[in-house]
Structure 1
Amino acid sequence: MKRKAWGTILLPVLAISGILLLLALKSDIRKKSTFDDANNGGLTLPAGFNASIIADKIGGARHIAVTPQGEIYVKLRGLEKGKGILLLHQNGGKAEIKSGFGNFGGTGISIKNGYLYASSDEEVFRYKLNANNEVINPDKPEKIVTGLISRGEHEAKAITLDNAGHLYVNIGAYSNACQVKDRQKGSPGQKGCPILDSAAGIWQFSDSKPNQHYGDGVRYATGLRNVVGLTWNQQDNQLYVMQHGRDQLHDLFPQYFTVKQSAELPAECMYALKKGDNAGWPYMYYDWQTHKKMLMPEYGGDGKKEGGQNAINPVAAFPGHLAPNGLMFYTGNQFPAKYKNGAFIAFHGSWNRAPEPQAGFFVVFQPFKDGKPSGKWEVFADGFAGTADQKAKGAALRRPCGLAQGPDGSIYVSDDSRGTIYKISYKK
């Protein structure tokens, strides 16, 4: 009787357990399929484009560089198993970690003239490459620049190189708006903003001279609060950057700005820079809706007074707080003709638009014609954040950060939240 009783009890329990397990497995499959390659890795793209996740959970993938052989160098924000740079080998539609090296985290990475350049938050290194664009001596990089300022805010050192032997490094402002008391309600701006002497700009160095110090560099452009996306435009031989606009207009000066104005008005700006240019921070912000340079409230602005008379104008402007972290000009032939020489921008996504929904978490395309922006920008790849609710709350599953073009004309997008690398291609 006991055996029969136990059997009577166990059979239904086992049946229920089996059903629950099956439901759990189906749920897990559904979760995974949200980001499978058949679904473009979860991305929404224009017709004819497809995306695949070629690597996942590799660490905080910041900027990336792709070799002519299709290998991918990834700069990690922090160390993974003691390494800050990964080399990924593509095989069968996926990318596997081939090697790791570099004992420093950071953001910038670039390939130029037989070298791999990579940055920490304080230094820039370079590694000699062989004919296959593989690092020859990964344990002994050459130190190119040292002593870069890193003071707790806007520390990332994005880098790019021109065609004349120069390295460009962003040194972000260690402040929001150069207030006497940073991010304190009603605090005025510092007179003359001493931060401009050592930060808030782009510094130029030799790309080959070892052990240059910050003081050896040339302040190439100033008045830039923080730049993470920057690149050298080969079409017009000029430096282009994406600036992160200011924060907290309403929080700090509620008498002048509504919550909505605070969320949307201070534009994320694209600048085409020449030596000596001044983009105006901290004395002005750019209002992308009125296309005007506005005087900062810390320096007497009230939301109506214009400013920045001596500052250059942006060549393109985008809504506030989208956080542009990657910039790339498309020079390939795989994509349709409209994309040729245009700019792709990776927007990392906002944290400070509340109570407005958080925004960004996408890659946009800005058309160019004759070396200048032409026409309205458009969202090119969306869906990195996950669900609409995740995006609105800023709880993004993935955040686009770096961009690179592959030898076949595909583009690659890195994500520094989950550690994902996407490959986006076009098929006629």
Structure 2
Amino acid sequence: MKNKLNFVLAATALAGSVLFASCNSNSKKNGADTTTATTDTTASANGGLTLPSGFTANVLAENLGGTRHIAVSPQGDIFVKLGKPKDGKGVLVLHEAKGKAEVKNGFGDYDGTGIYIKNGYLYTSSNEDVYRYKLNDKNEVIDGSKPETVVKGLLNRNQHEAKAIVLDDAGNLYVNIGAYSNSCQVKDREKGSLGQPGCPILDSAGGIWQFKADKLNQTYKDGVRYATGLRNVVGLDWNKQNNQLFVMQHGRDGLHDLFPEMYDTKQQAELPAECMYALKKGDNAGWPYIYYDQQQNKKMLAPEYGGDGKKDGDPTGKYITPAAAYPGHLAPNGLLFYTGDQFPEKYKNGAFIAFHGSWNRAPEPQAGYFVVFQPFKNGKPDGKWEVFADGFSGSAENTAKGRAVRRPCGLAQGPDGSLYVTDDSKGTVYKISYKK
């Protein structure tokens, strides 16, 4: 029997932000239920954040620019990718000392999101290409002016263009290529427009592509479409516990605006779920033909392809089921599996997710702008998720109106097991630590 939980918005005076209390879904089945952790009352001492008891947050740097994804070297140097270059630098290198991080240097005059350290190289991405920089024995970039091009010529149609990246331990590079569309309509985001037959977008976008990490100047023909049917993925990470790629999909928009006779405004605000998928080669998550309804725990046929909000989207089991589902439109931009020893045992091998926050939940309040923790067991989501770090928006009113001061984006684990979080609105880098 499904454990139906009604979603409510609760403004917490201490956090000064809005939380979601549930997701109308079976928590044991997909991990989508939520609770709020016991929070520290000293938000002002934590850079404005509220955290579970025992955790503290330190603002390492501010006003860096649009800080997107982040990587931290074993020596503690912090590499940050900027969404757009600032002063001609799209990658910043920060050195941390005495609770602050100063910009050490910068390079790479290109936009983008992805950044990752692996096997003696720093990998970064623009919105069309993936580069790498050779590191020395201290994991410092040897020459920032001479990147090697690993992949080039990826599609960029100025919608869902961020090329998030991750590498596995077998020499493979995974790149998100977001769909340049909301739902593959003949006329994108136009009321009543139906879906393109066969969705030609999926030939070169709307999925995860796999390339070789050590081969240069690869193009589409050198890569493999590892998984398809994914509208847009910004947060992704390799789960070493079960040696598998996990991704966070941004769900579609506009159910009521595009098909008002089938959906009301509340359904549009709450549906569909933001989904976590555990991927294997050849998997199909079903976009644009289906979406996942977290209130019914069901894959639904998209209205562009004959759905009406009631029709089963996958009667034959063609599409994979989400590993976990979260409230609609919260925009998951960061995913990190925690493998450190600093945090309490419950966090070991679980997932942190940075929700960038919504803009399209009207007439319901906007929501998100927080980092949540999803417990895992044996490589799978297990039990309720909880809000871990809140307060990025600045106040409950800011959250509800979608006017967040800061919006979390990137996540990284430091060599001591601390958690680093970026904000791409004010260019802030936070370091979250735990003391027993």
Q: Same fold (TM over 0.5)?
A: yes
Report the Cα offset of residue 256 of structure 1: 0.9
2:245 corresponds to 1:232: no
Alpha-carbon separation, structure 2, partners of 1:286 and 1:49: 34
2:378 corresponds to 1:377: no
Number of residues of Structure 1 aligned to a counterpart in Structure 2: 393
Percent identity over paired residues? 74
Alpha-carbon separation, structure 1, partners of 2:415 and 2:136: 18
Corresponding residue for residue 365 of structure 1: 373
Alpha-carbon separation, structure 2, partners of 1:212 and 1:324: 28
- Give the aligned CA root-mean-square deviation in angstroms: 0.9
Q: Secondary structure at the residue paired with 1:127?
A: strand
Corresponding residue for residue 33 of structure 2: none
2:407 corresponds to 1:399: yes
Which residue of the other structure, out of 419, 422, 429, is the alignment partner of 1:411?
Answer: 419
Q: Which runs of 4+ in 1 moved over 6 A?
A: none
2:48 corresponds to 1:42: yes
Alpha-carbon separation, structure 2, partners of 1:215 and 1:388: 48
Amino acid at match of 2:281: K
Q: TM-score, normalised by structure 2?
A: 0.89
Higher RCO, Cα 8 Å, sep 6+: 2
Alpha-carbon separation, structure 1, partners of 2:179 and 2:43: 40
Report the Cα offset of residue 38 of structure 1: 5.0
Alpha-carbon separation, structure 2, partners of 1:325 and 1:191: 30
Alpha-carbon separation, structure 1, partners of 2:43 and 2:117: 29
Q: Secondary structure at the residue paired with 2:79?
A: strand
Structure that is richer in helix per residue: 1
2:122 corresponds to 1:138: no
Instruction: Output aligned runs, 1:16-415, within 5 Å.
Output: 39-308=45-314, 309-415=317-423
List per-residue Cα deviations over 1:275-303 (Å, max 9, x = no partner). 00000000000011211000000011111
Corresponding residue for residue 10 of structure 1: none
- Structure number, greater radius of gyration: 1
Cα contact 1:37–1:52 (8 A) shared by 2? no
Change (3 A) 1:37 1:322: closer
Q: Secondary structure at the residue paired with 1:228?
A: strand
Alpha-carbon separation, structure 1, partners of 2:200 and 2:299: 22
Report the Cα offset of residue 37 of structure 1: 8.0
Alpha-carbon separation, structure 2, partners of 1:38 and 1:107: 30
Higher mean alpha-carbon deviation, 305-314 vs 291-300, is at 305-314
Amino acid at match of 1:52: N
Report the Cα offset of residue 214 of structure 1: 2.2
Q: Secondary structure at the residue paired with 1:136?
A: coil
Cα contact 1:245–1:285 (8 A) shared by 2? yes
2:430 corresponds to 1:422: yes
List per-residue Cα deviations over 1:155-197 (Å, max 9, x = no partner). 0000000111100000000000000100000100011111111
Q: Secondary structure at the residue paired with 1:42?
A: coil
Q: Unpaired segments of 5 or more residues in structure 1? A: 1-35
Alpha-carbon separation, structure 1, partners of 2:106 and 2:158: 27
Cα contact 2:43–2:50 (8 A) shared by 1? no
Amino acid at match of 2:358: S
